[in-house]
Amino acid sequence: MAIEKEFTLTIQDVISDKLQVAIESSLSRNQILSSYRILRKSIDARGRTIKINYKVAVYLQGETVPPSFREREFYRVNSSCKRVVIIGAGPAGLFAALKCIELGMQPVVIERGKDVRSRRRDLVSIHREHRVNPDSNYCFGEGGAGTYSDGKLYTRSTKRGDVRSVLETLVQFGASEEILSDAHPHIGTNKLPGIIESIRNRIIELGGEVHFDTRMVDIIHNGKIIQSILLSDGRMVSADSYILATGHSARDVFQLLNDRNILIEFKPFAVGVRAEHPQSLVDTSQYHCDARPDPLPAASYSLVHQVGGVGVYSFCMCPGGIIAPCATEQQEIVTNGWSPSKRNNPFANSGIVVPVDWSVMNDFRRYGALAGVHYQRAIEHACWQAGGSTQCAPAQRLVDFLERKKSTSLQQTSYQPGVVPADLNSLLPDWVSSKLRGGFEAFGKKMRGYVSDAAMLVAPETRTSSPVRIPRHTELLCHVELENLYPCAEGAGYAGGIVSAAIDGERVAMAILQKLNE
Ligand SMILES: Cc1cc2nc3c(=O)[nH]c(=O)nc-3n(C[C@H](O)[C@H](O)[C@H](O)COP(=O)(O)OP(=O)(O)OC[C@H]3O[C@@H](n4cnc5c(N)ncnc54)[C@H](O)[C@@H]3O)c2cc1C
């Protein structure tokens, strides 16, 4: 049996590889170290001296070292099994498909976008030609919105076992084992596509189906169950159950549900801007040093401040990252961020957002459940116009935003389609910009250099979470009206992020099996 021990090392200790020495000197004279495994690694940069905390499993001579995790076993399925149509191949859809196979059901995955490699060409076309393919972009395509992301894998989900199982599955399909021990694991945009491709190949090898370039365009139901769905290529598809995992940007799906009298509800979400700083500024501030010492990763931040009872907060911070153009339609600008696995880009970016609910939605009430979609769209379209009706985004120096004046010159940025000077105060609803100003002023006091000439804002950040909830039964997880429809993960309002979406995909697959077995 391994002995679990905890150690705290300084950066110098880490550079000189002192963990093993520390472990050995913690053993008694008759204990001989055979090997050790890092179970948890975290950085404590709160004080002047940065500490690296380790929790390790120590194996003594004569002990067998178990594998770091148990690989999931899957058995073949075929068309004689229960059939589950999964709409959307994001993390939720892919993990739901794996779970279906594990449980002996045949998944049929329908994805409007392209496979993960072909999808890249459409991203380049957004950057270079300012052309947005409405079916293949940063949000749509194999792997979903999380594919070209930082691949941060932390979640507020408290179900540790479930989180661990998702991380282990990612390792099984090619992610580094380090994600199992890092306190803030992330994969990186360069590594995610390979992992997603392996998951898809496995689903197909095991008898599942995956259909790319295929959009669900209609739902046929009788008020109690879905009878079939219509695909963009004209095919009608029927199944025992349907998992709707189409993400927070599939506005046509929200519209379709509304048009077909399938209950959906307005859901609060958050909007704001993306703030960008030189990574060196964030490193200096967070690590209290002039230059980041070698073993430390690019520093991140997490900021929050209450302005008039409303929390202004940082969202999806990408150290050493790039601001991505995440529009899903032609006449809109949407920003988000990604990082390569090494997080070695010279910029750090983060969404800075404010929650919005019915109380600020007055002009949009006429849209009912779709009010949030129209609110987002109005901001995104105004920013598109301000950017010259291209994918160039409106931008402003942070100091100018606080003084409400258009910048005369802009900082360099990682946002590849380009930026255009604008006063973002006039592009965002007054309520949002005033709260953001209050938040930024406070952040400037909390973090050295945060409000400085080096800081720039790029707008807008609107797709933080779904503006719609698709209500489902709390235990059965099926839609409150249609008993074989399973609203799933982020688009339905039950997840926020890669890991929680994957967990929800698995939960829904398990709920389906339970229902079909009754
Ligand atoms: C640039 C970027 C960076 C991000 N960074 C991170 C991060 O670091 N960490 C993190 O945890 N989260 C991150 N996120 C958020 C994360 O990607 C999402 O929370 C997650 O992908 C949601 O998973 P999902 O499966 O619910 O939906 P999605 O990933 O949105 O997948 C939905 C899928 O459904 C498909 N679809 C939509 N409509 C239809 C239709 N009608 N027919 C067929 N298919 C359809 C879409 O093409 C898409 O592939 C990021 C998002 C973006 C855009």
The minimum-distance atom of ligand 1 relative to the CA of 232 is: 42
pTM value is 0.96
> Is omega for the bond preceding 460 within 30 degrees of 0, making it cis?
yes
Ligand 1 test: best mutation among 149, 155, 461, most atoms within 8 Å of CB?
149
Least Cα distance to 32 among 62, 1, 56, 4 occurs for: 62
Find the 300 Cα to ligand 1 centroid distance in Å.
Answer: 23
Collapsing DSSP to helix, strand or coil, 469 comes out as strand
Which of 300-315 are b and which e, b meaning 16 or more Cβ less than 10 Å from the residue's Cβ? bbebebebeebebbbb
Output the furthest CA–CA distance in the chain (Å, rounded). Answer: 77
Region 477-506: what's the mean pLDDT? 96
Check residue 479 and give left, alpha or beta (phi > 0: left; psi -120 to 50: alpha): beta
- pLDDT digits over 158-169, tens only? 666 689 999 999
Cα 497 to averaged position of ligand 1 atoms, centre (Å): 8
Pairing verdict, β 209-211 and 106-110: parallel
Give, in order, the Cα–Cα distances in Å from 271 to each of 59, 289, 363, 432, 463: 49, 33, 16, 8, 7
**Closest CA relative to residue 91, chosen from 202, 196, 248:** 196
Q: Which atom of ligand 1 is least distant from the CA of 150?
A: 8
Q: In the numeric block, which tokens belong to residue 317?
A: 């911070």
DSSP summary character for residue 216: E
Calculated CA dihedral for residues 396, 397, 403, 407, nearest 10 degrees? -60
Q: Is residue 146 predicted with pLDDT exceeding 90?
A: no
* Cα dist from 49 to 278, 288, 289, 449, whole Å: 23, 9, 10, 20
What are the residues facing 458 on neighbouring strands?
Answer: 274, 395
Pairing of strands 216-221, 209-211: unpaired
User: Ligand 1 pocket check: which of 137, 140, 376 to mutate, most ligand atoms within 8 Å of Cβ?
Assistant: 140
The CA distance from 182 to 35, in Å, is: 19
Percent over 70 (pLDDT), the chain: 99
Q: What residues contact 164, with CB distance under 8 A and at least 6 apart?
A: 180
> Cα(496)–Cα(441) distance, rounded to whole angstroms?
28
Atom of ligand 1 nearest to the CA of 490: 26
For the CA of 252, the nearest atom of ligand 1: 41
Report how far ligand 1's centroid is from the alpha carbon of 127 (Å). 20
Contacts of 223 (CB under 8 A, 6+ apart): 481, 482
Q: Quick one: pLDDT at residue 159? A: 66
Q: Indicate whether 83 pLDDT > 90.
A: yes
The DSSP code for 365 is G
User: Which residue minimizes the CA distance to atom 9 of ligand 1?
Assistant: 152
| For residue 156, pLDDT beyond 80 | no
Q: How far is the CA of 496 from the centre of ligand 1 (A)?
A: 9
- Whole-angstrom Cα distance, residue 503 to residue 163? 7
Mutational pocket test of ligand 1: of 115, 120, 246, the residue with most ligand atoms within 8 Å of the beta carbon: 246
| Pocket test residue of 94, 110, 111, 196 for ligand 1, highest count of atoms within 8 A of CB | 111
Q: Whose C-alpha lies nearest to ligand 1, atom 35?
A: 88
CA end-to-end span of the chain: 42
| 94, 110, 112, best to mutate for ligand 1 pocket (most atoms within 8 Å of CB) | 112
134 pLDDT exceeds 80? yes
Model confidence pLDDT, tens digit, residues 357-413: 999 998 999 999 999 999 999 999 999 999 999 999 999 999 999 999 999 999 999
pLDDT tens sequence across 258-298: 999 999 999 999 999 999 999 999 999 999 888 888 789 99
Q: Give burial (CB, 10 Å; 0-12/13-18/19+) of 240.
A: middle
- Of 180-194, 426-440, 490-504, give the lowest mean pLDDT range: 180-194
Q: Is 500 helix (H, G, I), strand (E, B) or coil?
A: helix
Nearest CA to ligand 1 atom 53: 145
What average pLDDT does this structure show over 18-26? Answer: 94
How far is Cα of residue 417 from the mean position of the Cα atoms in its chain? 22
Q: What are phi and psi of 426, to 5 degrees?
A: -85, -15
Question: How is residue 354 written in tokens?
Answer: 């404010």
Q: Which residue type is seen at 254?
A: F
**Omega within 30 of 0 (cis) for the link into 278:** no
The answer on pLDDT for 483 being more than 80 is yes
**Rg of the Cα atoms in the chain:** 24
For residue 210, the CA-to-ligand 1 centroid distance in Å is 17
Nearest-CA residue for ligand 1 atom 52 is 145
How much is the pLDDT for 293?
A: 82
Q: Cβ(274)–Cβ(335) under 8 Å? A: yes
Using one digit for the tens of pLDDT, what is the confidence trace for 325-344?
A: 999 999 999 999 998 888 99
Both tokens of 92, joined, read 């939720």
pLDDT digit string (tens) for 216-260?
A: 999 999 999 999 999 999 999 999 999 999 999 999 999 999 999
**Average pLDDT rounded to a whole number, residues 466-495:** 97
Q: Is the pLDDT of residue 157 over 80?
A: no
- Kind and range of the H or E element at 443? helix 430-446
Mean pLDDT across the chain: 95
Q: Indicate the burial class of 329 (C-beta count within 10 angstroms; 0-12, 13-18, 19 or more).
A: middle
Contact 86, 245 (CB under 8 A): yes
Using a 6 Å CB cutoff, which residues line ligand 1? 87-93, 110-113, 138-141, 144-146, 148-152, 215-216, 245-247, 250, 253, 316, 324, 326, 336, 338, 489-491, 495-498, 501
